[in-house]
Amino acid sequence: MKSNQKGFSLVELLVVVIIIAIVAAIAIPNLLASRRAANEASAISSLRTIHSAEATYQATLGQNVNYGTNTDLGTAGLIDSVLGGASAAKSGYSFTVTVPATQVYCGTAVATTQGTTGVRSFGVSQPGVIYAATDGSIACSAAGVITGTGVAPIQ
């Protein structure tokens, strides 16, 4: 063998691979947590948009009485086509706007894959307070009240 050969030994390459694996093991969970947080922030923002659109819809097309569903708001041009579709999904959340009674509406955002795309689910109704449910079970009563396990207003 020549004594002046250049290059890395197998041990040196293995050390580098192990270091890269350790850094990846630390970084990937943080990346996934950041993605969930971004999805939840997007869901909250979308519910704020829906609430504003509902106020506009009631004042203009609803004759100061009625609210609209997802498709009603989308058709009126008050929300974008993604949220205004019959099966609205955006940033890992599914959005539903229901009108269970006159002068009442309820909008919910539920994680499409609980624990992966989001941990909490969110809801808003005519008062405009956004609520979060810790386990993904959020619903709207016939009176437009947000219900579910561990439901509390967000700060």
Q: Report pLDDT digits (tens) over 36-63.
A: 999 999 999 999 999 999 999 999 998 8
The per-residue pLDDT for range 63-110, each reduced to its tens digit, is: 888 999 999 999 999 999 999 888 899 999 999 999 988 889 999 999
Residue 32 is predicted with a pLDDT of 87
Please report the pLDDT score of residue 5 as a whole number: 72
Domain boundaries of the chain, sorted by first residue? 10-153
Q: What is d(CA 46, CA 43) in angstroms, rounded to the nearest whole number?
A: 5
If one compares 110 and 144, the residue with the highest pLDDT of the two is: 110
Q: Which pTM was predicted?
A: 0.81
Report the pLDDT value the prediction gives residue 2, as an integer from 0 to 100: 60
- Going by C-alpha positions, the residue among 135, 115, 71 that lies closest to residue 97 is 71
In the predicted structure, residue 136 carries a pLDDT above the cut 90: no
Bigger pLDDT: 4 vs 129 = 129
